Amino acid sequence: MALPVANLDAALPFYESVMGFEVTSRAHEPYKTAVARRDGIEIGFAENGGDPSQDGCAFVVDNVEAAFNELKSNGLQNESPDFKTEDHGETSFKVFYVIAPDGLCYWFGERQETK
């Protein structure tokens, strides 16, 4: 995955400090890229000319409230998670969204029990 960012060096501190990722590799050719890892998940970023406001990714978490509280305690500038319920196929999720300073959108969702 190569999520587009306008300025890699400016974007990475948010992922390290707020989202808890560790940058594991960087490259400069054919353009600046980085890979960050956390809990066995890797995401990639690239100064590839793409529009960050049109991209992002989803994270399924065990506890969406704990995920929000962790991000908030790490400095997330979002006062309220605005939790919603969304159905994806036959699965319901309790979700919230985070828009990173670089414009990328992240969906955090916890599977809900079906009745």
10-24, 72-86, 93-107: range with lowest mean pLDDT: 72-86
107 pLDDT more than 90:
yes
Q: Tell me, what's the pLDDT at 41?
A: 93
Query: Would you say residue 73 has pLDDT above 70?
Result: yes
Distances (CA, A) of 50 to 15, 39, 78, 103: 19, 27, 25, 11
The pTM of this model reads: 0.91
User: Domains in the chain, ordered, with CATH?
Assistant: 3-111 (3.10.180.10)
pLDDT at 113: 83
d(CA 69, CA 71): 5
**Least confident segment among 42-46, 71-75, 81-85:** 81-85
